[in-house]
Structure 1
Amino acid sequence: MKAKIILWIGALLLIMVGMMGCEKAGEIASDDDTNLQQQGQPNANQSEEDPVIPTALIGSWKLAGFVRTTDNAFEEIASKDCAKCYTITFLKDGTFSGYTSANEVRGKYKVDETLRIVKWEGTSANEQPEGKKYVSAMHSISHIDFMGDLLKLYYDNGQNQLLFYRKKNEALPVIPSELIDSWKLEGFGDTETNTFREADPKDCTVCYTLIFLRNGMLTGKSSTNEMMGEYVINEQNIKIRFGGTKKNELFDGGKYVEAVNKIHRFEIVSQKLKLYYNGGKNYLRFKRTVQFTGTRWELAGIVDAKTGKITPLAPKGCYWFKFISETKAKGGSVLNIMAVNLTSPPFFNIETEIGDSHNGDAALFYRIIRTLESYTWEENELKFFYDNKRYYLLYKCSNL
């Protein structure tokens, strides 16, 4: 009898525990149902902010080419006659669609401090090297800038730029292909006195540059400001409308901007561009900016900036590099592999660690490249300055 009572009490306790467990489970299920019902509904305690997208970005854009920002050197896209290649359309909902050199792409983007591609979909089949360069650049944008109907997307820490123009339905104007390029002002000419004066400052690689685009737009820099405008060509006549600020123009900046807006005729002779103004009495003379990719440069020596004396470094034929892009080069010292980057200041990096400091002037060369301050280029010469610009490494292009 006592055993039955114990079994009965035990069963009763199990039933009570089971009921309590079911009650708890019911409460949890009820909470879950409430949570499920609230999913997708606005939360009164949280404010969901829509992405802030600049109105100027919305629309379709066409890539004009790649720009090296240190001197505004311009590399036009190879497939310039392909209407849909390198086009991109940004929508208000944060999505985009477009084309590379060979593929259709789509995805999502955000604009905060810069433009960020957060999703990129599409194939990479048959992508051209230029197309791969474009895709890589789009994934590493560090800064975004608008200038009217021009869009500039900076990458490589601002050293390079994707230059787009707003895509419109009208047909592109007929423009001489030889004009489509980046040009650097050499100076001011006078046809009556047959005199010529170099523009100041002379050591600014990006000052007084013009980039003519195939759609009739142009961009560039004066002495201190970014400029943007349009141009119209009728045979040898050209009319330029150059916009932008004139704030803090230095040296010949004011004279340059004033002259550009008076241009009425152009000619290209021996790779030089002349833009005439004042009824042809005066002209601006430009040269093409250097295209570094594929060029090889060899060290001529150390130059005393004051006297011009050149001191070669031994062994001869070492300390060279070849550009693999518009800002990056690979080369060698005596036994080591060397990388060069045209940043500001320029950066030389010895990538291997073979002990060659005892070979010729390698030790001196290594000391110098750690103290480089700036660089300039002129025709087939690259100058890397150090010691407060009292000396520089002089490199000469061997295949120009």
Structure 2
Amino acid sequence: MADVNQKSDRFRRSTAYVPGLWFNRGVKEDPYLGAASAGELLRLLRDGVPRTRTELTSVTGLARSTVRARLDALLDAGLVSEGGSEASTGGRPAGRFVFNARARVVLAAEVGATHATVAVTDLTSSPLALRRIEQDVADGPDVVLPVLIKTWRALLAEAGLDSVQLAGVGIGLPGPVEHSTGRPNNPPIMPGWDNYDVPGRVSAELGVPVLVDNEVNLMALGEHTKCFPDADHVIVVKVATGIGSGFISNGELHRGAVGAAGDLGHIAAPYAGDVPCRCGNTGCLEAVASGSAIAATLRARGIDAHTSADVVALVRAGNLEAGQLVRQAGRTIGDVLAACVSMFNPSLIVVGGTLALAGEMLLAGVREAIYRRSLPLATENLRIVPSQVGDDAGVLGAAAMVIQHVLSPSVVDRQLA
């Protein structure tokens, strides 16, 4: 039984565990003891470890009859399946039960400025089908959202998943989003999207819950759940056409009072002067250190560059000026992040986005500035690493956001009732 308890403890650290979903880490009671509902029993089984009724009874402290009733409800809903039998010790082999990650599918999308990543995932946010499409967010919601819906339906058909029940839809957008309503809030590069009822439009077509958030928040959630579940205090930075960040605090995504947390790109950058920014201010970090800002500087020097991808291609081709500008952009980003390190005290900073594909050049500049500007106490155990999930971080985070909601004990219990 000690082995079972150890596996239960490892549930907290598994990639299937979604921080903040099941319990508040500030509360000291053990959520694995005294579980009273089917939803809470499913919480335990989501680590993917097959368990017998006897093991579940021991771990939860519930009566055997209660465990049986809870399992029957989860089996009927398809959320749990029988995962084989224990080796017999003379009597009837004990059946084992395991979370069924294929019981439902999640539709997810990360919409960028000029492209979108669209996916169908299982209930662990593992992709079952994925497609990248060219799509300009400036075309507006009445164009973009039907394209997403059409792409999801095509992916479901191609993967043979038409008959699988949908759990929900998660969408990441490249601008501020009021998460409680799913409506964009004055997004600077998204004409026609302000206060648009994205969940209402998509739910009317698909008939399932629709959750919407800023794409960098979802990138942070994707990196955290898939690669860094043990890190409770994380800053994830995206450097591409613009610059943004997502914060994981005490193991949970931190959105702030109105969903505006992490707007790193519009903090005033050192030595930026009066360089105009698309937000209407001057001297913003994004105006001097983003991929588009570097491309503009290169064009002014007679070098053909129009996008972040062009800048990356020049760096990889050995262009000295492009490499120097990317390194300096890293230093400038690091100067702003150093203030965040002093204020937030993260244990991990993850740097992603198109410009991060330039290799160590950007990351080296970030590290140089942070270690120079921050106190040793704050940086002694600080790791600064490149994105581990890469281009898929945002879409996987969108799926994880939906899973947090639909598999929460309260929602599961309501559905079973």
TM range (shorter): under 0.3
| The structure with more helix, counted as a fraction of residues | 2
Give the TM-score normalised by the residue count of structure 1: 0.28
Structure with max Cα Rg: 1
- If asked which structure has higher relative contact order (CA below 8 Å, sep 6+), I would say 2
| The structure with more strand, counted as a fraction of residues | 1
Give the TM-score normalised by the residue count of structure 2: 0.27
